[in-house]
Chain A
Amino acid sequence: MFEARLTSAATLKKVLEAVKELLNEASFDCSDSGIQLQAMDNSHVSLVSLTLRSDGFDKYRCDRSLTMGMNLASMSKILKCANNDDTVTIKAQDDADTVTFVFESKKQEKISDYEMKLMNLDQEHLGIPETDFSCVIRMPSVEFARIVRDLAQFGETVLICCTKEGVKFSVSGDVGSANVKLAQTNNFDKEEESVSIEMQEPVSLSFACQYLISFTKATPLSPRVQLSMSSNVPLVVEYEIAELGYIRYYLAPKIED
């Protein structure tokens, strides 16, 4: 028996929004410790890694580990039927070929359930090594989303240069070029608005804007985003999900010409 309950369906809706642009379907691995998802996008250039810890759920029970392959468009249709403040419970029997979503309104006067067929997905898991990154940038997630959206208008590739003074995002294309520089702030009383940089050595890497835009669909999950970079390894874009876990996106850098 698997059962996981969240008091607010809004959280699950946001999680789904954060992955469904990159993935058509995904396997949710459920165990005693929580729910995990690891999947590459169709072009194998980016990877989504989601962890929802069991202790972050309002109720969590997983007698036997199970993998639930879900079509994310179907899951999205179901979650649209929930109000943001509904309680959502995900249920499955051991060895089941369906999963059930139960939505309960706050006053319990409305209870709905939606059963969805599970899929057998043959997904390859990647071993992600622990890396000491040369640069770790923390900034407001809304600011990052804004920069990526603004710059993507002018080119397909963004160059991210990080030094101890700050981080610079640059794009060039047919129209011309654009640069956005963010200085490290010492805004201790407004930590949520600060830009902080931990740097071992400066890094310059290029990435496809299109993927960064997809990653910023996670913005509603967290006020902060963390970008971790080292030369010639994938960028990690991480959003913490308060008291529940995190979503990390890995993006392979563009090869130097």
Chain B
Amino acid sequence: VGNQTTLMKFFTKA
């Protein structure tokens, strides 16, 4: 997805 970052960067694992 190009220079798309992932959600992991923003959310912690519950």
Which A residues are closer than 8 A to B by beta carbons?
Answer: 40, 43-47, 124-129, 156-157, 208, 210, 233-234, 250, 252-255, 257
Number of A-B contacts (CB under 8 A): 58
Interface extent on B, as a size class? Answer: 10 to 19
Q: Do the beta carbons of B3 and A45 come within 8 Å of each other?
A: no
| Nearest 6 pairs of A and B residues by beta carbon | A126-B11, A127-B14, A125-B14, A127-B12, A44-B6, A252-B5
Interfacial chain A residues near B11, Cβ < 8 Å? 47, 126-129, 234, 250
Smallest Cβ distance from B2 to chain A, in angstroms?
7
Chain A interface main SS type: loop
Given A40-B7, A126-B7, A234-B7, residue A254 in contact with residue B13 (CB < 8 A): no
Of the residues B6, B12, B14, contact of A45 by C-beta under 8 Å: B6
Interfacial chain B residues near A44, Cβ < 8 Å? 6-8
Smallest Cβ distance from A173 to chain B, in angstroms?
13
Smallest Cβ distance from B6 to chain A, in angstroms?
4
Docked complex Cα distance between A5 and B9 (Å)? 38
Q: Do the beta carbons of A126 and B5 come within 8 Å of each other?
A: no
Residue contacts A-B, CB under 8 angstroms, 7 given: A43-B4, A126-B12, A157-B2, A210-B1, A250-B11, A255-B4, A257-B3
Interfacial chain A residues near B2, Cβ < 8 Å? 156-157, 208, 254
Docked complex Cα distance between A208 and B7 (Å)? 14
Q: Do the beta carbons of A252 and B10 come within 8 Å of each other?
A: yes
Smallest Cβ distance from B3 to chain A, in angstroms?
5
Interfacial chain B residues near A47, Cβ < 8 Å? 7, 11
Interfacial chain B residues near A157, Cβ < 8 Å? 2
Interfacial chain B residues near A255, Cβ < 8 Å? 3-5
Interfacial chain A residues near B14, Cβ < 8 Å? 125-127
Docked complex Cα distance between A210 and B7 (Å)? 16
Smallest Cβ distance from B1 to chain A, in angstroms?
6
